Amino acid sequence: MANYEDVFKKVVAHAKEYGFVFQSSEIYDGLAAAYDYGPNGVELKNNIKNYWWKSMVNMHENIVGLDASIFMHPTTWKASGHVDAFNDPLIDNKDSKKRYRADVLIEDHIAKIEAKIEKDVTKAAKRFGDAFNKEEFVTTNGRILDRQKQIDAINEKMNTSLSSGDLEGVKTLIEQLDIKCPVSGTNNWTDVRQFNLMFKTQMGATADGSSDLYLRPETAQGIFVNFLNVQKTARMKIPFGIAQIGKAFRNEIVARQFIFRMREFEQMEMQFFVRPGEEMKWYEYWKDFRMKWHQALGMGEENYRFHDHENLAHYANAATDIEFKFPFGFKELEGIHSRTDFDLKAHQEHSGKKLQYFDPELGESYVPYVVETSIGLDRMFLTVLSHSFREEKLENGESRVVLKIPAFLAPIKAAILPLTKKDGMPEKAREVMKMLQLDFNCQYEEKDSIGKRYRRQDAIGTPFCITIDHQTLEDNTVTIRDRDTMKQERVTVDKLHAIIAEKVNIAKYLES
């Protein structure tokens, strides 16, 4: 088994064991692709939301928030194009009866060729040592150039077929590449069909008086239909943005990789309304801004890359993904899309209401263009969790599992630990807890040996452990242990607030 699979399995097991993520309805054997966030998970999720909201809304005078309902008038989804075009190409293997996304089968095939390139590069780097120049190697080595050519040709065929709706072409490509079902090992495929990803439900008590509704597949449409409400009441001038965080639902054909692809998930989206003709300038601005937001977390610049779309969604004239190197490879974390005036124009036509902006500087009205940033909260959660998971061998021969989560995102900021349960230590510890808990999420723990308690806090990523011991009762000092270095320092109780505040300060992440 490849090592990354081992690591990923460990991350998933860790998420459950330490109260981050549970399978939904687990006592009934779970529901595929639905997950519940436990006590530590919900804290981490809230901290990520806060980081996004502060950066996008609080730090931008021209961006305001919204919390639109999940249920929307059904015409919304006709206008947005989701009823007709929000489809994935689906294919079944006749022997295993397993269902796949046809484009994902092809992408997985490409990923295998990419892995071979990666292997060649690693081998060459070892062989040439310090003299190795990766850029030169990948642009001149014959075998790598051949492999890259193969990838480009497959991508081109797939994109041409998908964008022209040529499903037969997609099937032919799968057959030409001799892609086999991972379960049955055969290439006995059905035809490729389109599958709409929206969940349908009914509103109303009686069958004949009810109307069909969809669970929103993106939060963005709640923003578009409220464009004028927000612009007028918040007195916004173009360019301006509307941001929201909320649930979205997609009936994914193949939901896999834990919380990476779910059927119910959460998005953090911002629609930025601009003058027609200025959208590419803003598209570049938001690409740069969002990449910096990710990189500020210090999870390695080399773990992010842009992936420009060739096969554009029905509403976009330019689109890129910010990809992150998950344990299972580089995958989409966030999308940045230039959505033109497609959505507002479509809602204008279907509702019969004008959705225009009078630009006082130009002295004219127009339907604004839109640049969107859209990130999955659950995927962001997975980047933080998987990147911060470490198994460390210690100098004394023991080992520990530690989550090296950026301190300001950690679920618990400080653990307050009386060394023993007697001699007034618990009472003193509660006093310290009371002093800190108003500003920081703290946890009081008195059970088990101090070593075991340190390990438990390491495993959930708590940046500080504060131990109250005999000396505390004499001179009001405690030991404060750093999660990453495991070093302990003795400080007076009145210094604790400042030490924690400095470490978990969100400001330095927002300034960069």
Q: How far apart are CB 199 and ligand GAP at their closest, in Å?
A: 12
Smallest distance from the beta carbon of 508 to ligand GAP, in angstroms? 25
Residue 378 interacting with ligand GAP (CB under 6 A): yes
Among 41, 89, 335, 368, binds ligand GAP (CB under 6 A): 335
Q: How far apart are CA 284 and CA 286, in angstroms?
A: 6
Write the DSSP assignment of 309-370 as a string of letters.
-SS--TT-SEEEEEEEEETTEEEEEEEEEEEETHHHHHHHHHH-----EEETTTTEEEPPEE
Between β-strands 200-203 and 211-214, what pairing exists: parallel, antiparallel or unpaired?
A: antiparallel
**Amino acid residing at 301:** E
Identity at 24, one-letter amino acid code = S
Contacts (CB under 6 A) with ligand GAP, residues 223-252:
250, 252
- Two tokens, residue 68: 């639109």
Residue type, 401: V
Binding mask 265-304 for ligand GAP (x = CB under 6 A): x-x-x-----------------------------------
Q: Where are the beta strands (DSSP E) in 48-147?
A: 63-65, 87-92, 99-101
231 vs 267, which CB is nearer to ligand GAP?
A: 267
Residue 160, H or E segment: helix 142-163
- From residue 381, how far is each of 159, 271, 376, 391, 445 by CA, in Å? 30, 22, 9, 19, 26
Mapped onto helix, strand or coil, the DSSP state of residue 179 is coil
Q: Closest approach of Cβ 269 to ligand GAP, in Å?
A: 6
Residue 443 is classified by DSSP as: E
Q: Which of 11, 243, 262, 500 binds ligand GAP (CB under 6 A)?
A: 262
CB 331 to ligand GAP: min, Å: 9
Site for ligand GAP contains 23 (CB under 6 A): no
Least Cα distance to 457 among 470, 471, 477, 442 occurs for: 442
55 touching ligand GAP, by CB under 6 A: no
Could you say whether residue 103 binds ligand GAP (CB under 6 A)? no
The nearer residue to ligand GAP, 92 or 252, going by C-beta atoms, is: 252
> b vs e for 281-294, b when ≥16 Cβ sit within 10 Å of the residue's Cβ?
ebbeebbeebbebb
Question: Of all helices (H) and strands (E), which one includes residue 233?
Answer: helix 227-233
Can residue 88 be called a binding residue for ligand GAP (CB under 6 A)? no
Q: Which one of 7-15, 122-130, 304-312, 375-383 is the stretch in contact with ligand GAP (CB under 6 A)?
A: 375-383
Token pair, residue 431, equals 């006093």
Residue 161: CB minimum distance to ligand GAP, A? 20
Instruction: Select from 53-61, 89-97, 127-135, 261-269 the region that touches ligand GAP (CB under 6 A).
Output: 261-269
Q: Does 375 bind ligand GAP (CB under 6 A)?
A: yes
Report which of 8, 14, 12, 21 is spatially closest to residue 328, judged by C-alpha positions: 8
Min. distance of Cβ 40 from ligand GAP in angstroms?
A: 20
374 is an interface residue for ligand GAP by CB under 6 A: yes
Least Å from the CB of residue 211 to ligand GAP: 24
Judged by CB, which is closer to ligand GAP: 157, or 250? 250
Residues numbered 420 to 479 that lie near ligand GAP (CB under 6 A) are none
> Interface residues for ligand GAP in 343-372 (CB under 6 A)?
372
Rank residues 309 and 497 by Cβ distance to ligand GAP and give the closer one: 309
Tell me the closest approach of the beta carbon of residue 380 to ligand GAP, in angstroms: 7
Q: Report d(CA 470, CA 498) in Å as an integer.
A: 23
Strand 193-196 relative to strand 99-101, pairing: unpaired
Taking the chain, what is the end-to-end CA distance rounded to the nearest angstrom? 40
Residues that bind ligand GAP (CB under 6 A): 218, 220, 250, 252, 261-262, 265, 267, 269, 332-335, 372, 374-376, 378-379
